[in-house]
Amino acid sequence: MLRETLEMNIKRLMDFLIYSKNFLIRKNPIKSMSNSFMEGLREFLTMNKKRKMAQYRLNYHRHQFQKMEQLIAQNNQHTFLKGKNLNETR
């Protein structure tokens, strides 16, 4: 009885170890953790470059918007309305 229980527990332990080994081979958590760390590091190092690109795009669109507003103000016959009322053509 004790021997059978001991053999059954050893068999269960061996099965668990085999399942664990296969899971580690299949999922490889160390490799996925190192990949996510490297991806985070890469994102951190390129953050300044991405910020500069976004700032450039923002300045470009702001400049285009100001040019468009200036053209609308020049072509508007009611120049006395500048800044007082909402211009409907904008």
Q: Span 54-66, mean pLDDT? A: 96
Q: Please check the confidence at residue 82 and state whether its pLDDT lies above 60.
A: no
Is residue 86 predicted with pLDDT exceeding 80?
Answer: no
**What's the whole-model pTM score?**
0.49
**Residue 75 reports pLDDT greater than 80:** no
> Which residues, other chains included, contact 75 with Cβ-Cβ below 8 Å and sequence gap of 6+?
none
Mean pLDDT confidence for 46-59: 96
| Averaged pLDDT, 37-52 | 95
Asked whether residue 81 carries a pLDDT value surpassing 70, the answer given is no
pLDDT value at 88 more than 60: no
User: Which residues fall within 8 angstroms of residue 7, CB to CB, at 6 or more apart?
Assistant: none
> Which residues lie below 8 Å from residue 73, measured CB to CB, with a gap of 6+?
79, 82, 87
How do the domains of the chain map onto residue ranges?
Answer: 41-73
Helices (H), 1-90: 2-27, 29-45, 47-75
